[in-house]
Amino acid sequence: MRGTVSINLIPLLEQVNAGIAQAKASGAAFEPNVIRQNLENLSSYMIPGPEVALIKNTFITVAENKIAVRIYHPNPEKELPVLLHFHGGGHMCGSVNLYDPISRELAIAANAIVVCIDYRLAPEHPYPAGLDDCQYLLENYQDLLKGYRFSEQLYIAGDSAGGAICTSLVINNIDNAAIKIDKQILIYPSVDYTMSCPSIVENGQGFLLEADKMRWYFQQYFNLDNIELNTGESTAALITAASPLLGKFDSRMPKTLVITAGCDPLRDEGALYAQKVKQAGVSVEHYQFDDLIHAYMLLSKLVPEQYHQTYSLIKKFINNT
């Protein structure tokens, strides 16, 4: 069923939809630089994040690539858990800077040291480059935190493509004895690259994130134009294998919080992921904001009540043992 959107979002959506129509008419709808700038422009709709005691910019080196990382420590005098934060943006957009308010809020809500990474983006760096960067961080975050006090508790969090990264890391490391993720926080996660859920059709137009843009994102991320030509590998097999929703669910998965939006094309896959985690015997909480759209976390000035409620849900989830 198609969602019914909050009246607070209607003026923005009218403006965006008019812009999308104009861009499609001019043939400039799907250009990486344009899409990236459009996402960065949402910063004007974001509530500034709270003060955090210590913020440090640093980097990791992955396969000779220097990857920026930002550390947020809400209380350097205390031993706190660590939360690895993976931003959204369709694997093509987004940045540590854009997501700075969210990283700050997560540090306070989770009372944890947040580490946010500027992983490599497609199309310049297609799959699995960005995921490899995040895997490296997962394996080596302790090295970044030398000199700080931190506990063994490890959380991961991500929205949209960041949710895809979280869920991929969980599946890829389920048999890795050196990695123990205690909890994962997923906000309107992208977990099905095959785009098979009904909400893709029901909410796939008019709600900011559109189905044709998603398809284009995934085409860039997986380099689908060239993969069959260069490797002979089936694109269908690749995107199915890469989709966390279609992977193996296991009782060793971390406790999971899934937050979905009723007017989001990704609504159903997030809900189905929560259902599959529960069926695997894992503790899961699922909450849906029925009248919100994809990327509402980047529109916090328009929906401040639901934005702050999201962090209340996260804080409650983290504090539940």
What percentage of the chain reaches a pLDDT higher than 70? 97
Chain mean pLDDT for the chain: 95
- What pLDDT sits at residue 321? 72
Contact (CB, 8 A) for 124 and 222: no
User: Average pLDDT in the 108-115 region?
Assistant: 98
What are the pLDDT digits (tens) for 131-172? 999 999 999 999 999 999 999 999 999 999 999 999 999 999
pLDDT confidence band for 34 (50 / 70 / 90): confident
Q: What tens digit of pLDDT does each residue of 172-216 get?
A: 999 999 999 999 999 999 999 999 999 999 999 999 999 999 999
Contacts of residue 112, defined as CB under 8 A and 6 or more positions apart, other chains included, come to: 74, 80, 81, 82, 83, 106, 153, 155, 318
46 token code pair:
């974001």
Which residues are identified as catalytic?
Answer: 160, 264, 294
- The whole-number pLDDT of residue 241 equals 94
124 against 234, higher pLDDT: 124
Please tell me the distance from the alpha carbon of residue 71 to that of residue 171, in angstroms, as a whole number: 25
> What is the per-residue pLDDT across 211-242, written as a single tens digit (0 to 9) for each?
999 999 999 999 987 655 455 567 888 999 99
Tokens (6 digits) for 309: 């409620």
- At CB < 8 A and 24+ separation, what contacts does 138-143 make? 138/84, 138/169, 138/173, 138/179, 138/181, 139/178, 139/179, 140/60, 141/82, 141/84, 141/115
The pLDDT of 96-113, averaged and rounded, is: 98
Beta strands 150-159; 80-86: pairing state: parallel
Q: Which three-class secondary structure state does DSSP give residue 85?
A: strand
Rounded CA gap, 100 and 180, in Å? Answer: 26
Q: Is the pLDDT of residue 125 over 90?
A: yes
287 Rama sector, left if φ>0, alpha if ψ -120 to 50, beta otherwise: beta
Instruction: Output phi, psi for 155, to 5 deg.
Output: -120, 155
pTM for the full predicted model: 0.96
SS3 content of the chain, % helix, strand, coil (to 5): 45, 20, 40
